[in-house]
Structure 1
Amino acid sequence: MTAASPPAGTPQLPLALRYPPEQRLDSYIGAPSGALEQLRALACEPGADWLYLEGPAGSGKTHLGLAACAEAEQAGRRAAYLPLRAAAGRLGEALQALEADLVALDGLEVVAGGREDEVALFDFHNRARAAGIGVLYLAAAAPQALPLVLPDLRSRLGQCTRIALRPLDDQARRDILRDRARRRGLVLEEAAIDWLLTRTGRDLVQLLSLLERIDRESLAAQRRVTVPFLRGMLGAR
């Protein structure tokens, strides 16, 4: 999957800018020991160990998949990120179209149990090994816990180096909100973080989306982000 050529006279942006700037390896908080180094090696070094990254929803798998692709392209390599939910039922066609040195396949559990997609994934796995392409698998569970119908595919996936991500706790959510706010130049008081976690839910995707809104509205109002400001912004008591 390659970027289209820009029109004549248009400055070409670094390829890594195609990936969200906040989703980088160095902005991931709470990675297992050695995991970021393994991901960086896979992204940048031909022949590095393939990785199988597993973890529950909200643990940051997609963040790390996109970050690895950005890291690869920053190193001058071609990268492709494929959310398997978008390719389910036609995975063979989608995989055939990929042209990359690193491929991140996100959401293995979505295609598990679909025989045609599993065959396509098994064939891709073997082709990628033969071609020296790096592969990062992202899944909600370990290979043996997925409802795969092809034993050979389960075996191939089991040969990858596995990294298990932990579910987020409130401290990790606080750390992530604090870090994302800092990167935006936004001062987020501890009391405001506590209020957000108790009043708006703990889903990280929603929290980060809300943080973007808070940043925009506090800038427009020229207000510090305090609990009274959040109450007024969200219409809460």
Structure 2
Amino acid sequence: MQGTDLGPQLPLALRYPPDQRFESFIGPPQGALAALGALATTPGADWVYLAGPSRTGKTHLALALCAATEQQHRRAAYLPMAAAAGRLRDALDALEGNDVVALDGIEVIAGTREDEVALFDFHNRARASGLNVLYTARGIPDDIGLELPDLRSRLQQCLRVMLDPLDEAGRRDVLRERAQRRGLVLEDAALEWLLTRTDRDLGTLVALLDRLDRASLAAQRRVTVPFLRSVL
């Protein structure tokens, strides 16, 4: 996060891990990266509402947006809404002065009137000031439990991008790409073993890949099926 009292300001590399960039996102919907890229580079670009189930890459794209914005020497802030629930007005007030703000997981404030009103007020101020905003949520505005009709109406005016869970080929591509970035040698047989014998949730698979990377380095071994059996 940047510019809030919810945590210390961190170096770019720590705020926005290198795995979480536009170019490393597998299977984006048509036009999604162009719309997000416009937010990063162009004042007054169409705001984006990014919706999709858990583990579909919403946080990846939110952090990638912030990284891309700062690469343009513009100011960006990322706010996980779960960290600000119950005191959202103060957190949002602290974000003013940025060029781009990514608000990740707005469904967590649904049903809390004070937070909903704070988000509505922020939305209006941000529009007036020319701030670019990305919202992410697990569903469209009408489906996440928001009780303030005016807030739902404002959110519905954003450009909507829907993310779907990756199919098996997509999960395979993500694991292969992440392994290559780490310099991890992941044999095809080992990749298939992972996909058929472990939880196929993408977040779990990526966390498992991190574990295998550490184990492989410690043992100085390639990631083969026998190695997977011994580690898992």
TM over 0.5: yes
| SS at 1:104 equivalent | strand
- The verdict on how the C-alpha distance between 1:14 and 1:113 changes in structure 2, with shifts beyond 3 A counting, is closer
Structure 1, unaligned stretches of length 5 or more?
A: 4-12
The yes-or-no answer on 1:21 pairing with 2:21 is no
Given residue 183 of structure 2, which amino acid in structure 1 is its aligned partner? G
> Which residue pairs with 1:81 in the alignment?
78
Once residues 132 and 12 of structure 2 are traced to their aligned partners in structure 1, the CA distance between those partners, rounded to angstroms, is: 18
- What is the CA RMSD across the aligned residues, in angstroms? 1.7
Amino acid in structure 1 at the alignment position of 2:80: P
Distance in 2 between the 1:14 and 1:75 partners? 16
Q: Is the 8 A contact 2:185 2:222 kept in 1?
A: yes
Describe how 1:213-228 pairs up with structure 2 within 5 A. 213-228=211-226
Distance 1:31-1:108 versus aligned 2 partners, 3 A rule = same
Question: The residue matched to 1:148 in structure 2 has which SS?
Answer: coil
Matched residue pairs, number? Answer: 226
- Find the partner of 1:35 among 32, 36, 41: 32
Counterpart secondary structure, 2:26 = coil
Q: TM-score, normalised by structure 2?
A: 0.93
Equivalent runs, 1:4-19 vs 2, <5 Å: 15=12, 18-19=15-16
- Of the three residues 40, 62, 69, the one matched with 2:66 is 69
Q: Which residue of 2 aligns with 1:47?
A: 44
- Give the drift of 1:17: 5.3
Q: Distance in 2 between matches of 1:224 and 1:17?
A: 28
AA at the equivalent of 1:74 = Q
Q: Which amino acid aligns with 1:136?
A: L
CA distance, structure 2, for counterparts of residue 117 and residue 233 of structure 1: 45
Shift of 1:78: 0.7
* Corresponding residue of 1:202: 200
Contact persistence 1:16–1:69 (CA under 8 A): no
1:60-102 CA distance string (max 9 Å, x none)? 0000000000100111111111111111111111101114111
Counterpart for residue 162 of structure 1: 160
Whether the 8 Å CA contact 1:16–1:71 is kept in 2: the answer is no
Task: Give, in angstroms, the shift of residue 2 of structure 1.
Answer: 3.6
Q: Which runs of 4+ in 1 moved over 2 A?
A: 13-18
Task: Name the amino acid aligned to 1:77.
Answer: R
Deviation at 1:218, TM superposition (A): 1.2
Q: Judge conservation of contact 2:3–2:94 (CA < 8 Å) in 1.
A: no
> Contact (CA 8 Å) 1:15, 1:74: kept in 2 or not?
no
Question: Any unmatched runs of 5+ in structure 2?
Answer: 5-9
Aligned match of 2:231: 233
Specify the code of the residue in structure 2 equivalent to 1:41: A
Distance change >3 Å, CA 158–CA 61, structure 1 → 2? same
CA contact (8 A) 2:66 2:76 kept: yes
- TM-score between both structures, scaled by the size of structure 1: 0.91
